[in-house]
Structure 1
Amino acid sequence: MRIAMGAFKTGNYRNLFKEIGKSDAEIQARIDEAVKTFFYDENERIYHEAGEDMGYLTDTGNNDARTEGMSYGMMMCVQLDMKEQFDRIWKWSKTYMFMTEGDNEGYFAWSCQTDGTKNAYGPAPDGEEFYAMALFFASHRWGDGEGIFEYSREARELLSSCIHKGENGRPGCPMWNKENGQILFVPGSPHTDPSYHLPHFYELFALWANEEDREFFANAAKVSRDYLVKCCHKETGLSPEYGNFDGTPMDKELPWGQFGDFFSDAYRTAANIGLDAVWFGEEKKHLGAPLRMMKFFGTDLEAVRCAYKVDGTPLERPVLHPLGLLSATAQGALAAADDDFETAKKWVEWFWNQPLRKGVRRYYDNCLYMFALLALSGNYRIY
């Protein structure tokens, strides 16, 4: 049986590390060590201070700052009660990434150089989602400040842009397809990204967004859960990086490659489903996908060394982010029913025995690692 109610109603957050026998002291030491490495270690950190009151997270493989990582960093900081770092990242985002003119006014440029120079003038919707959710949590945990630090106002205005651009003469395109309620890969695109579907966020946006936007987000939560059922393969549980609105893998090749397979972006889908199970917990069909993934990969971690088609066909394409895949899949264990916990337990144990990734490509892996560490220890919470 799966827990009938999630932490939103009960306030109880499952700690899978304790369930595999780790002590509170061991768990806290692991979190402290990871935070020290991720934020402060001179050789391995992702976070960097900039001047007296700003900071950024860098994609170490591309030497830029991305809204993905910046908003992830803010979410980590609010979960860890690191207000100074949260405010520094937010101010850097608003100073350098936020766009105040043109079709994308009201959004954030998805990539900037580490000196703040914009590399692009388009947004990536997963960044906006995480910015908004982190800002609401900051408002509730620390209280609103003034100006850009009036967190709840900033979150509401950002979400309003995300769904109302293009209306009443306002330039640009929304981040959701208004006909089917699905989040888009980029505004105006004809496809979605399964890992952008965050129904557990939308449930909360439906409570805290502007009054006129709440019904939209309540529906978006249902739409996304229904979509995840369709896009996660019925046997393997794998989802594609990019998908058509009907749940099938995107079959159109983009200028930068084919993205209808199970690859880097798609790893996050299992993690998102795991967090949805913790926060809202109701029996939904999409919650079974992470366990199907675990059973597909089997008991040998070598199975996660290559890419796959969503039907499980292996591809001659190596995994770029093996720790990210392991971390996100382990976080998906939070969705496993009690009678399937032995399978899920193996992944939690594998994750526990993995260190943070070192080297040039560590950014994405270690972001997913940090989220899994928080979620599996019961510390990725609603505020």
Structure 2
Amino acid sequence: MRTYPNLFLELGISQEEIDKKINDTFKTIFFDPEERIYFEMGDDMGYMLDTGNDDARTEGMSYGMMMAVQMDRKDIFDRLWLFSKTYMYQNSGKYKGYFAWSVTPDGSKNAEGPAPDGEEYFAMALFFASERWGDGEQPFNYSVQAREILRHCIHQNELVEGGEPMWDNTNYYIKFVPEADFTDPSYHLPHFYEIFAQRADPQDREFWKKAAEESRKYLHLACHPITGMASEYAEYDGTPKRLFREVQFYSDSYRVAMNIGLDAAWFNKDESLGEIVDKLQAFFSENTTLGNYSSYMIDGTALDEPALHSFAIIATNAAGSLAAKGKYRMGWVKDFWELPLRKGKRRYYDNCLYFFSLLMLSGRYIIY
């Protein structure tokens, strides 16, 4: 039986305290009248609101589904999935089979194109739901839906006229968007691809196995050799890609440490990835005060713009401790344990990553 590390226990925190914090955090995110980010629509749907941008995104919807399956809340999972299939799923055009990345709370599309991190989280959450609860009637035939998503992700150009796949079939990298020839390092989830290599269409399983290998290699290219920072957007050779702003280490980037931590907890196929987290933790521990963060270039140069999501930096750096071996690893876990949820308008992103990090560090983010 697979075991998952629990770094909170290693700190001396009781299992009872850990379980209470997980349950209280989940209740706040999903049900607190003032601080929730989950909202129900009608009798059978619900959405995760990006409170900073007043929209529902495939990122948040798929995150909510992953939270729900980890917490055994099929009711919430099915509401989120039905909203996604009803309002975000594209039934025609070059994006057929993909999901529009942003919609208003009433379901109107803000954009037609997809964001590939949504698709990979949708697929993984659906596979877990299938294993945990069993497949039901369409669209709740979870494993069938997951395989369809992955089929489009790598064969869109074969399945849909004018379509572009979400993965580059020459280097096995996930793209920032289907039409792009660059990537987002935080989209690289080799631990997901390991499972896709077991559960996707049989003819595609070697592709996913290779994608896992290449994504682990890519993270070494994309993360700075001294600071451990990755750029939000990056070329295929790992160099930062300027897209929306001058800053490089920004909101998306924070997820890289968390992803490395979960990959270590699930598969641990490249222990050297932990060295990236060691460098990142050392940079923040030695050059900043807790929670007082700027935006940065990946060489550590601080810019005038403050970090938009400082809570997320603490949470994800702590989650990276699952892979780290350096002297700061448990200090970050302790600081995160003592960190409250973020309140206010910008709480959505921080609190999503907070909850994932809480599950990871307690051994409760598991493979089904």
TM-score if structure 1 supplies the norm length? 0.94
Specify the alignment match of 1:7 in structure 2: none
Please list every run of at least 4 consecutive aligned residues from structure 1 whose deviation after the TM superposition is greater than 6 angstroms.
Answer: none
Q: What is the distance in 2 between the residues matched to 1:308 and 1:343?
A: 21
- Structure 1 contact 240–266 (Cα < 8 Å) conserved: yes
What is the 5 A alignment of 1:266-281?
Answer: 266-281=253-268
What is the 5 A alignment of 1:305-344?
Answer: 305-337=293-325, 340=326, 342-344=327-329
- Structure 2 contact 183–233 (Cα < 8 Å) conserved: yes
Q: What is the distance in 1 between the residues matched to 2:292 and 2:5?
A: 26
Specify the alignment match of 1:19 in structure 2: 10
Summarize deviations over 1:25-83 as a string: whole Å, max 9, x none. 11011111101110000110000111111110000011110000000000000001111
Specify the alignment match of 1:205 in structure 2: 196
Specify the alignment match of 1:263 in structure 2: 250
Task: Tell me the secondary structure at the aligned position of residue 356 of structure 1.
Answer: coil
Q: Which structure is higher in RCO with an 8 Å CA cutoff and minimum separation 6? A: 1
One-letter code of the match for 2:256? T
Distance of aligned partners of 1:367 and 1:303 in 2 relative to their CA distance in 1, 3 Å threshold: closer
1:171 Cα deviation from its structure 2 partner = 3.2
One-letter code of the match for 1:312? G
Distance of aligned partners of 1:23 and 1:123 in 2 relative to their CA distance in 1, 3 Å threshold: same
What's the C-alpha RMSD, in Å, of the aligned pairs?
1.3
- Structure 2 contact 152–159 (Cα < 8 Å) conserved: no
Task: Tell me the secondary structure at the aligned position of residue 167 of structure 1.
Answer: helix
Q: What is the distance in 1 between the residues matched to 2:121 and 2:160?
A: 27
1:158 Cα deviation from its structure 2 partner = 0.4
State whether structure 2 residue 367 is matched by structure 1 residue 382.
yes
Of 183, 193, 197, 2:184 maps to: 193
Specify the alignment match of 2:353 in structure 1: 368
State whether structure 2 residue 48 is matched by structure 1 residue 57.
yes
1:168 Cα deviation from its structure 2 partner = 6.3
Specify the alignment match of 1:282 in structure 2: 269
1:288 Cα deviation from its structure 2 partner = 1.5
1:187 Cα deviation from its structure 2 partner = 0.3
Task: Tell me the secondary structure at the aligned position of residue 270 of structure 1.
Answer: helix
State whether structure 2 residue 28 is matched by structure 1 residue 37.
yes
One-letter code of the match for 1:279? W
Q: What is the distance in 1 between the residues matched to 2:211 and 2:63?
A: 21
Q: What is the distance in 1 between the residues matched to 2:115 and 2:277?
A: 25
- Structure 1 contact 144–152 (Cα < 8 Å) conserved: yes
Specify the alignment match of 2:95 in structure 1: 104
- Structure 2 contact 221–238 (Cα < 8 Å) conserved: yes
State whether structure 2 residue 76 is matched by structure 1 residue 85.
yes
Q: What is the distance in 1 between the residues matched to 2:45 and 2:291?
A: 41
1:88 Cα deviation from its structure 2 partner = 0.4
1:308 Cα deviation from its structure 2 partner = 1.2
Summarize deviations over 1:190-224 as a string: whole Å, max 9, x none. 21000000000000000000011111100000110
1:302 Cα deviation from its structure 2 partner = 4.2
What is the 5 A alignment of 1:174-253?
Answer: 174-250=165-241, 252=242
What is the 5 A alignment of 1:104-143?
Answer: 104-143=95-134
Task: Tell me the secondary structure at the aligned position of residue 148 of structure 1.
Answer: coil
- Structure 2 contact 258–317 (Cα < 8 Å) conserved: yes
- Structure 1 contact 327–369 (Cα < 8 Å) conserved: yes
Q: What is the distance in 1 between the residues matched to 2:68 and 2:75?
A: 9
Task: Tell me the secondary structure at the aligned position of residue 175 of structure 2.
Answer: coil
1:304 Cα deviation from its structure 2 partner = 5.0
Q: Which runs of 5+ in 2 are unaligned?
A: none
Q: What is the distance in 2 between the residues matched to 1:82 and 1:262?
A: 34
Q: What is the distance in 2 between the residues matched to 1:302 and 1:55?
A: 35
State whether structure 2 residue 339 is matched by structure 1 residue 354.
yes
1:169 Cα deviation from its structure 2 partner = 6.1
Q: What is the distance in 2 between the residues matched to 1:349 and 1:225?
A: 28
One-letter code of the match for 2:261? G
Q: What is the distance in 2 between the residues matched to 1:143 and 1:215?
A: 26
Summarize deviations over 1:143-181 as a string: whole Å, max 9, x none. 111111000000000000000011266431000111111
TM-score if structure 2 supplies the norm length? 0.97
Q: What is the distance in 2 between the residues matched to 1:32 and 1:316?
A: 38
Specify the alignment match of 2:148 in structure 1: 157
Specify the alignment match of 1:144 in structure 2: 135
Distance of aligned partners of 1:108 and 1:164 in 2 relative to their CA distance in 1, 3 Å threshold: same
Specify the alignment match of 1:3 in structure 2: none
- Structure 1 contact 58–363 (Cα < 8 Å) conserved: yes
One-letter code of the match for 1:135? L
